[in-house]
Amino acid sequence: MTWFHHALVTGGAGFIGSHLTDRLVENCEVTVYDDFSNGDADHVPEEASVIQADVRKRKPLADAVAEADVVFHEAAQVSVQQSVSNPKSSQEVNVDPMLTILESARDTDTRVILASSAALYGHPIYLPIDEEHPKEPTSPYGLEKLTADHYCRLYHDLYEVETVALRYFNAYGPRQQGGDYSGVISIFRDQALANDDITVEGDGEQTRDFVHVDDIVQANLLAATSDDAVGKAFNIGTGDSITIRELADTIKNVTDSESDIVHVDSREGDIDRSEASIDKAREVLGFQPEYTVFEGLRDYLGQGRP
Ligand code: UD1
């Protein structure tokens, strides 16, 4: 296992990127690249240097990559819904900067770790979903992540760039922002704590594999330091799933909320079932998630209580 000296974290002020930066600064020099459109400067540890810029700006991004031994590319437009409303602007954030990073890495031997997504699989034809599962994304977001993920493999195969794609299932944890376009756990949490209606979209029978942000950080550190990881893609989840209705009930109970659970329209492009096979990540990376969803929710909701 080889450690690195200088890491670049795009989206380093954001939800996953800031947790990763917190861990990285304990071991190496870290540069955070963020435009603070979504991220929060208060979440960036003072040991990290900051480049305040948009990932769509090619030169500052390429220069920052050239300075680093490893890039964790976490910056993204993360909302499936927003990609459906505006595919072009979503593509500009989720795909083009990937090429800027890979082109720069091609010249500099920088390792590139991509925050890829389970959304690239689309509706599963079998469960759990392994990395070989057919990829038929049902949203522009899923297609964008598939494109970026596949570019990682191509740049490894064609140009020997050290790339790893980590296909996150549904991430949650402290610092995930609420609001309409955030992940469902942070939305339900805010609704439950305010005693507002908890809005289950559709029948609530859709399932997700919710993975705690600390486990995502663990996977990134393993991907950056393992020689066997390069050129490969890995599912990062818990290997288990729950329905959205079960999630709503659990969050209501854990927070002692008086909210009603109501059903509203389902979403366009929504995936009906999702559960990861994490065998490959276990075998190749030594990945071992520390939180089940129920443990993780207790941790996350415990912190959020008034
Ligand atoms: C999420 C991520 C995406 C990631 C993908 C991987 C967010 C915003 N999106 O997409 O970046 O790549 O997982 O699997 O984190 N729901 C409700 N009520 C609400 C909000 C959501 O019922 O108020 C439902 C949705 O209809 C959906 C499920 O919860 O069925 C999950 O939605 P969401 O948290 O937005 O995540 P994904 O669309 O799975």
Q: Which of 16, 80, 234 to mutate to test the pocket of ligand 1 (most atoms within 8 A of CB)?
A: 80
Q: Check the CA dihedral 119-125-127-130 and report its sign.
A: negative
Q: How far is the CA of 120 from the centre of ligand 1 (A)?
A: 13
Task: Give tens-digit pLDDT for 197-239.
Answer: 999 999 999 999 999 999 999 999 999 999 999 999 999 999 9
Q: 287, 270, 269: which is closest to 278 by C-alpha?
A: 287
Q: Contact 74/11 with Cβ under 8 angstroms?
A: yes
Band the pLDDT of 74: cuts 50, 70, 90. very high
Q: Which of 184, 187, 207, 270 to mutate to test the pocket of ligand 1 (most atoms within 8 A of CB)?
A: 184
Q: How far is the CA of 65 from the centre of ligand 1 (A)?
A: 30
pTM across the whole model: 0.95
**Active-site residue among 33, 121, 126, 141?**
141
* Cα 206 to Cα 41, 48, 239, 299, distances in angstroms: 35, 39, 16, 24
Atom index in ligand 1 nearest the CA of residue 168 equals 6
Question: Look-up: residue for tokens 């996150």?
Answer: 168
Task: Give tens-digit pLDDT for 29-59.
Answer: 999 999 999 999 999 999 999 999 999 999 9
List residues near ligand 1 (CB under 6 A).
Answer: 78-80, 117-119, 168-170, 182-184, 187, 199-201, 206, 208, 244, 267, 270, 274
Q: How far is the CA of 81 from the centre of ligand 1 (A)?
A: 9
What is the predicted pLDDT for the residue at 111? Answer: 98
Q: How far is the CA of 119 from the centre of ligand 1 (A)?
A: 10
What is the predicted pLDDT for the residue at 271? Answer: 84
Residue 141 among the catalytic residues: yes
- Residues 177 and 172: their CA atoms lie apart, in Å, by 10
Atom index in ligand 1 nearest the CA of residue 180 equals 23
Complete domains list, the chain, with CATH:
6-172+211-239+277-290 (3.40.50.720), 181-207+241-273+297-302 (3.90.25.10)
- Residues 144 and 149: their CA atoms lie apart, in Å, by 8
The one-letter amino acid code at 190 reads D
Question: Look-up: residue for tokens 């240097």?
Answer: 49
Say yes or no to pLDDT of 247 above 70.
yes
- What is the number of helices (H) and of strands (E) in the chain? 11, 13
Q: How far is the CA of 137 from the centre of ligand 1 (A)?
A: 14
Half-sphere exposure of 86 (CA within 13 A, CB side): 9
Q: Which residue did the predictor score with more confidence, 299 or 148?
A: 148
What is the predicted pLDDT for the residue at 62? Answer: 98
Say yes or no to pLDDT of 305 above 60.
no
Q: Which of 129, 135, 208, 264 to mutate to test the pocket of ligand 1 (most atoms within 8 A of CB)?
A: 208
Band the pLDDT of 25: cuts 50, 70, 90. very high
